[in-house]
């Protein structure tokens, strides 16, 4: 029975391509399911042989650790270069969106804190 290795929901194309490449390079048989028309399923990479799952998971863990380190290094470099996106940048670029999100957060906090008192009172 096939085993899901990678759900493609919110996975960038370059990451999915890299995973496909190392699966081919490591000669691990897999197939890919496509996203559904209704958006319920986003597709995935499935292993054909259950016996390959432990090796594939170990390779995936190594890959994700290396990718995480690269992403953290790139973010740190962007901060050092002054290219990182800040709250002020977001506020300047999309003021209505940022203010709207802050208002929604405020409403959620107020309701969360006030609701028990209102229900008990």
Claim: this prediction has a pTM higher than 0.75: no
Q: What are phi and psi of 116, to 5 degrees?
A: -60, -40
pLDDT of 112 strictly over 80:
yes
Q: How far, rounded to the nearest angstrom, does the alpha carbon of residue 5 sit from its chain's CA centroid?
A: 15
Percent of the chain with pLDDT over 70: 100
For residues 60 and 5, the answer to whether their CB atoms sit within 8 Å is yes
Residue 42 in contact with residue 7, Cβ under 8 Å? yes
Mean model confidence pLDDT for the chain: 91
């Amino acid at each position: 029975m096939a085993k899901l290795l990678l759900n493609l929901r919110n996975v960038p194309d370059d990451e999915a391509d890299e995973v496909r490449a190392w699966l081919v390079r490591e000669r691990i048989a897999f197939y890919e399911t496509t996203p559904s028309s209704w958006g319920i399923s986003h597709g995935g990479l499935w292993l054909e042989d259950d016996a390959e799952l432990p090796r594939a998971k170990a390779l995936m863990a190594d890959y994700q650790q290396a990718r995480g380190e690269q992403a953290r290094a790139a973010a740190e470099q962007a901060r050092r270069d002054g290219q990182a996106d800040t709250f002020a940048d977001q506020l300047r670029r999309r003021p209505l969106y940022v203010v709207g999100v802050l208002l929604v957060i405020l409403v959620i906090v107020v309701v969360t804190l006030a609701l028990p008192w209102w229900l008990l009172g």
